[in-house]
């Protein structure tokens, strides 16, 4: 299984990017599994993560960036804005020695490698959110699902206690790997049928 987090991150960004490209023009205000976000807000959130990646990997602090990346980052051409942000984030992870850096996050300093895993998971899970909200392809790359599950397993309860993910839904005994991963992140795989 792929363990190179830079490659995994790039592939997860691609999963999200594919779903952004498939958003119908009338779907930007549809609800998503993220209760507080419609499709546009969800994409704006991920674009924000991508826009933050560049200064944070360059060593800037949250305070130094300030409110420059607050609010609507999508503008009149949301898909173009998303592509530009994702491309910049991928390039930021190609810098020599990037994974040896320390990143100054809102909850404290973290190794850049751990930050990359967080971004990888964020793009992968939100790719599914976006797919089910817009009637897109909701099947995720199985290798990415497995890598995410291995990374996230030991930290699931910590994330839940911090309020970063919802309650784990009950699972059928025969749940597949993707359904189990979504449950770990507080999502029901059948959301599209009742969302």
Q: pLDDT per residue over 44-81, tens digit each?
A: 999 999 999 999 999 998 888 888 788 999 999 999 99
pLDDT at site 65: 85
> How many residues comprise the chain?
195
Q: What is the DSSP string of 112-144?
A: HHHHHHHHHHHHHHHHHHHHHHTT---PPPHHH
Threshold 0.75, pTM exceeds? yes
Distance, CA of 90 to CA of 186 (rounded, Å) = 27
Q: Measuring CA to CA, which residue among 18, 13, 33 is closest to residue 136?
A: 18
Where are the domains positioned within the chain?
5-140
Torsion of CA 94, 97, 99, 102, to 10 degrees: -120
pLDDT at site 107: 79
Contact 99, 5 (CB under 8 A): yes
Distance, CA of 94 to CA of 117 (rounded, Å) = 15
Q: Which option is the CATH number for 5-140: 1.20.120.450, 2.40.50.140, 1.10.10.10, 3.40.109.10?
A: 1.20.120.450
């Amino acid at each position: 299984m792929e363990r190179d987090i830079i490659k995994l991150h790039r592939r997860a960004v691609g999963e999200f990017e594919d779903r952004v490209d498939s958003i119908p023009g009338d779907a930007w205000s549809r609800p998503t599994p993220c209760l507080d976000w419609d499709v546009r807000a969800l994409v704006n959130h991920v674009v924000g993560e991508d826009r933050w990646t560049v200064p944070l990997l360059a060593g800037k602090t949250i305070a130094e960036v300030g409110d420059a990346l607050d609010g609507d980052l999508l503008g009149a051409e949301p898909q173009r804005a998303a592509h530009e942000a994702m491309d910049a984030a991928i390039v930021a992870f190609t810098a020599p020695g990037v994974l040896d850096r320390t990143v100054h996050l809102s909850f404290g300093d973290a190794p850049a490698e751990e930050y990359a895993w967080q971004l990888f998971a964020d793009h992968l899970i939100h790719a599914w959110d976006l797919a089910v909200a817009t009637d897109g392809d909701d099947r995720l790359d199985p290798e990415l699902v497995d890598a995410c599950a291995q990374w996230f397993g030991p930290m699931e309860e910590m994330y839940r206690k911090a309020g970063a993910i919802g309650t784990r839904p009950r699972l059928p005994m025969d749940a597949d790997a993707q359904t189990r991963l979504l449950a770990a992140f507080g999502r029901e795989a059948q959301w599209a049928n009742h969302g």
